[in-house]
Amino acid sequence: MATNAILKVEGLNAFYGDSHILYDISFELKKDTVLALLGRNGAGKTTCISSIIGFLPERSGLIELDGLALQKLSPEKICHAGIGIVPQGRRIFPSLSVKENLEVAYQAPRAGSSRQWALEDIFQFFPRLQERQNQVAGSLSGGEQQMLAIGRALMTNPKVLLLDEPSEGLAPQIVKEVGNIIAQLKPFISIVLVEQNLSLALSVADDVLLLNGGRVVFAGAKTLFCEKQNELQSHLSVE
């Protein structure tokens, strides 16, 4: 699917106990592009993200970031290698200030990154977070918390950003704002976007990976996906 892949997943199988959840998942993420990871609830999207970041150790197959094998590493080492995550539900530290949430995540910039992120860069990218930097994070609106979750992930200076359902629970206008944020990030970072909002996902994606029952049913360019969307509709969630 890609020739300049920064993230490569090949033959990924994942398990919860004795339950086999992912079956031979393979895909590649191109540098500085967005891959939309789509599928109905229970299709295996979040399990795929959890497997890449190491939250789900019961997995087999190949996971490579810039040629570095990740499948035997802990989540902490995977993060240090250059994968950041914005988890479903945001999971900010509600009792810490906005500034403290960002500072606690900081990692030194990596050589070869398209952009390097420090506190002032996050505040420039998210002016609202700068305005609220001393505010307790738990008192922010849902949209502001999502900005903070994205900013916190960027503070790790990742090569790849995993976004798990960033529009979940947000008002339509804020969903549009999240889409604009992802579009602005595209020139600087490679993104895997798990999203139920099909319109949002397709507005920013370059490539699409569609799962059903833990198996790949489509992998390819967004343009090809759109051409085949009618025949693939049964594998998609209804918005």
DSSP code, position 123: H
- How many residues in total does the chain contain? 239
Q: Determine phi and psi for 112, rounding to 5 degrees.
A: 85, 0
Q: CB of 150 within 8 A of CB of 85?
A: no
For the chain, give every domain's residue range. Answer: 5-234
> Which amino acid appears at position 92 of this protein?
I
Q: How confident is the model at residue 3 (pLDDT cuts 50, 70, 90)?
A: low
The pLDDT value recorded for residue 237 is 59
pTM: 0.90
The pLDDT value recorded for residue 113 is 64
State the distance between the two ends of the chain, measured CA to CA, in whole angstroms: 27
Q: What span, in angstroms and rounded, lies between the C-alpha atoms of 101 and 153? A: 10
- Tell me the sheet residues that pair with 211: 216
Residue with tokens 């497997």: 51
User: In this structure, how many other beta carbons lie within 10 angstroms of the beta carbon of residue 174?
Assistant: 17
Q: CB of 218 within 8 A of CB of 225?
A: yes
Asked whether residue 239 carries a pLDDT value surpassing 60, the answer given is no
Q: What distance lies between CA 128 and its chain's CA centroid? A: 22
CATH 2.120.10.80 fits 5-234, yes or no: no
Segment 100-129 shows an average pLDDT of 85
Segment 161-181 shows an average pLDDT of 88
User: Could you report the per-residue pLDDT of 188-218, keeping only the tens digit for each?
Assistant: 899 999 998 899 999 999 999 999 999 999 9
* Structural element, H or E, at residue 151: helix 142-154
Q: How confident is the model at residue 238 (pLDDT cuts 50, 70, 90)?
A: very low
Tell me how far CA of residue 59 lies from CA of 17, 76, 94, 211, in angstroms: 11, 17, 32, 17
Residue 79: strand, helix, or coil: helix
- 16 Cβ partners below 8 Å, 6+ apart? 47, 56, 58
Tell me how far CA of residue 208 lies from CA of 97, 110, 182, 183, 214, in angstroms: 36, 27, 15, 16, 15
